[in-house]
Amino acid sequence: MKTAKTWGEFIDLLPEGEWNSLREDLDSKQKRKERFSMESIPSFSDGDYPPWLQAEADRCIPAVVREEFGLRNDSRFNGQFWQFPAEIEQPLLARLRQLGFGVELRDDWSFY
């Protein structure tokens, strides 16, 4: 989202199927060449888009790993979320690999 200059660039960067769910909340006449701004997405300014990955941990991190390494916290507005302290990064990755997950460290991804 940070790099898209036009709506077309933004749409092309989205994961498959994501645009279908987003465009319900947007003007369906968005032109691909129009200037793009993240604030144009209604749920962005509310903090609801893109999805908050810490709140999504229940869906993508196995319970045994969450319970072993995660800290369950509450946010003021968005409910509970999981936190994984940076200092347990290597043991966490080792446990995921032990469970058969392919994981790698990336420093080229931007998360909000």
pLDDT at position 106 is: 82
pLDDT at position 100 is: 96
pTM as predicted:
0.62
pLDDT at position 61 is: 92
**How far is it, in rounded angstroms, from Cα 90 to Cα 4?**
33
State phi, psi for 82 to the nearest 5 degrees. Answer: -100, 140
Residues 6 or more apart whose Cβ sits within 8 Å of residue 5: 35, 36
Mean pLDDT of all residues in the chain? Answer: 86
Question: pLDDT digit string (tens) for 21-70?
Answer: 887 767 656 688 889 988 888 778 777 788 777 888 888 899 999 999 99
9 in Cβ contact with 3 (< 8 Å): yes
Nearest to 1 by CA among 44, 33, 34: 44
pLDDT band with cut points at 50, 70 and 90 for residue 96: very high
Residue 101 has pLDDT above 90, yes or no: yes
Residue 112 has pLDDT above 60, yes or no: no
- The pair of three-digit structure tokens given for residue 21, joined into one six-digit string: 């769910």
pLDDT at position 28 is: 59
Nearest to 8 by CA among 26, 28, 33: 33
pLDDT at position 76 is: 83
Per-domain boundaries in the chain? 1-50, 52-102
